[in-house]
Amino acid sequence: MNGFEFFPQLHDALYWLKSHEDLLLVYICNAVVSVVILLFGRLLARLLARASEKVLERRGVDITIVQFFAALVRYAIMVFAIIAALGRLGIETSSIITVLGAAGLAVGLALQGSLANFAAGFMLVTLRPFRVGEMVQTGCITGVVEKVHIFSTTILTADRKEVVIPNGKVIADPVINFSRHPWRRIDLTIGVGYANRICDVKSVIHTVIMDDRRIDPSRGITVRLAELAASSLNFTVRVWVRNADYFDVMFDLLEQIKEALDENNIDIPFPKMDVHLTNIAAIPEAAPGHAHNFPGYGPGRIA
């Protein structure tokens, strides 16, 4: 008795496999080749991206453009590898491309933000308002530019936080670049008491400034009375320093000016309030141990 008579479905399946043996072998080979194409495409994309980075870096191309171009090469090769793998499986790639093109409008409408970020990335690389390694401020974020990707820009803040900002947001907001020029101006406001002479204050501050060799006097030094405030004379102090020395000089100037003013007996006022009482005789005198009979005072309240 034939053993397959008890399992007719298995018998039919084995018969179909035997009769379509050549077709199955072709499909299996195509599937294996498709996987190999994908793996090779991934490896090739990585190698060509690294090679393009090295070539552009040797030619002195800005690192921002290098990273952007390398990412573009990587994604482009992966797209071609996927299309080639689908074609190896017997899928009509021309029809797929046609369908993708027809659906491109709908996808573009659905991904308006991503396409805007992609276009903004090209604008950032072309216009170059900043480069990798420069300190910038965009919106409320201030830090050093780490990477400019196709869709986003990564900024490292002073407290070591990585902030990823969409390129569309970066291109839409004002960008302040602190590193583009080698010199930067320090602006300080120094307040002193009204009893001090203006010429004495200016002389003390000028002496502190001239003692700091990191300050370039040829670019101009400003020490002028800028405001007659409520309780102080406010002087504006402006000096030019190299970009790399900005924060060090700013902090040092504040400390040294404070010490110099103290040494010359020039007081720095602090907020205070003068209270004047009138018609004191009309205030009723409270009995010992009782609260004053004023509004806001009463049983259970502290006088």
Residue-range domain boundaries for the chain: 7-110, 129-177, 183-263
* pLDDT for res 289: 54
CATH code for the domain defined by 7-110? 1.10.287.1260
Percent residues over pLDDT 70 in the chain: 73
Q: Which of 156-160, 188-192, 218-222, 267-271 has the lowest mean pLDDT?
A: 267-271
Which is more confidently placed, 167 or 27? 167
Please, what is the average pLDDT of the chain? 80
* Cα radius of gyration (the chain): 37
State the pLDDT at residue 37: 85
pLDDT exceeds 80 at position 49: yes
The stretch 32-52 carries a mean pLDDT of: 86
* Average pLDDT rounded to a whole number, residues 87-112: 62
Specify the DSSP element, H or E, that contains 295.
none
For 187-239, write each residue's pLDDT tens digit.
999 999 999 999 999 999 999 999 999 999 999 999 999 999 988 999 999 99
Q: Determine the pLDDT at residue 75.
A: 81
Whether 44 shows a pLDDT value over 70: the answer reads yes
Which region among 50-54, 89-93, 122-126 has the lowest average model confidence (pLDDT)?
Answer: 89-93
Neighbours of 163 (CB within 10 A): 16
* pLDDT the model gives residue 300: 46
Residue 145 clears pLDDT 60, i.e. is over it: yes
Predicted local distance difference test score (pLDDT) of residue 248: 95
Q: What percent of the chain has pLDDT over 90?
A: 38
Angstrom distance (rounded) from CA 196 to CA 204: 12
* Distances, alpha carbon 4 to alpha carbons 14, 16, 17, 18, 189, in Å: 10, 14, 15, 15, 99
Residue range 10-31, pLDDT digits in tens: 555 655 556 656 666 767 787 8
189 and 156 Cβ atoms separated by less than 8 Å: no
Over 80: is that where the pLDDT of 132 sits? yes
In this structure, how many other beta carbons lie within 10 angstroms of the beta carbon of residue 72?
A: 17
**Residue 284 reports pLDDT greater than 90:** no
End-to-end Cα spacing for the chain: 113
Nearest to 41 by CA among 104, 86, 91, 97: 86
Please give the CATH architecture assigned to the domain spanning 129-177: Roll (2.30)
For the ranges 76-85, 153-162, 169-178, which has the lowest average pLDDT?
Answer: 76-85
User: Could you tell me where the DSSP H helices lie in 89-133?
Assistant: 93-110, 112-127
Between 107 and 121, the higher pLDDT residue: 121
Query: Could you say which of 3.40.50.620, 3.90.1150.10, 3.30.70.100, 3.40.50.10860 is the CATH number of the domain covering 183-263?
Result: 3.30.70.100
Helix H, strand E, coil C: the string for 47-89 is HHHHHHHHHHHHCCCCHHHHHHHHHHHHHHHHHHHHHHHHHHC
Name 227's bridge partners.
234
CA dist., res. 3 & res. 29, Å (int): 32
Return left, alpha or beta for 175; rule: phi > 0 is left, psi -120 to 50 is alpha, else beta.
Answer: beta
